[in-house]
Amino acid sequence: MKTLFVDANVFLRFFTEDDGDQHGRAADLLRKAAAGKCGLITGPTVLFEIAWTLRSAYDVPREKVLDVLSRLAVLPGLRMLDADLVEDAIGIARSSGQEYADAYILASMRKSGADAIATFNRKHFERMNAAIKGL
């Protein structure tokens, strides 16, 4: 069985349906994966690109972006790299009202065993109850 690493634009065409031909091809790929005809892999950087594109180019509200990421993370036939961090980050973003990327950074910090985050972006991390190292 062939395994493919899926780029953000495939998922974006599937979710936005803004290009009929590409949406159809993306949907076909996802159906094949769900049926076990191919394997799909994607990772956190793809999710960052999806979140940024939906927010900046499509004006999708943060909560709807998180819904898209949540749906994507459990698609049949798709293996998510760092699935545990992705799940934690979505939960942190939902509960704190912060963006997915910052929530992923906090989830990564916690998993790494680090004591705190070194950042100039104190406001967002304080809203997530993160331990912050003042600079």
The DSSP string of 91-131 is: HHHHHHT--HHHHHHHHHHHHHT-S-EE-S-HHHHHHTT--
For residues 58 and 112, state if they share a domain.
no
Q: What is the mean pLDDT of residues 13-20?
A: 95
Q: CB count, 10 Å around CB of 84?
A: 10
Residue 22: pLDDT above 90? yes
Alpha-carbon Rg for the chain, nearest whole angstrom, is 16
Residue 135: pLDDT above 90? no
pLDDT tens per residue across span 63-84: 999 999 999 999 999 999 999 9
Residue 59: pLDDT above 90? yes
Residue 30: pLDDT above 90? yes
For residues 64 and 113, state if they share a domain.
no
For residues 71 and 93, state if they share a domain.
no
pLDDT tens per residue across span 84-118: 999 999 999 999 999 999 999 999 999 999 999 99
For residues 17 and 51, state if they share a domain.
yes
For residues 75 and 88, state if they share a domain.
no
Tell me how many domains the chain contains: 2
Residue 134: pLDDT above 80? no
pTM of the model: 0.89
Place of tokens 């990421």: 69
Q: How far apart are CA 3 and CA 38, in angstroms?
A: 6
For residues 91 and 62, state if they share a domain.
no
CA count, 13 A, side-chain hemisphere, 55: 16
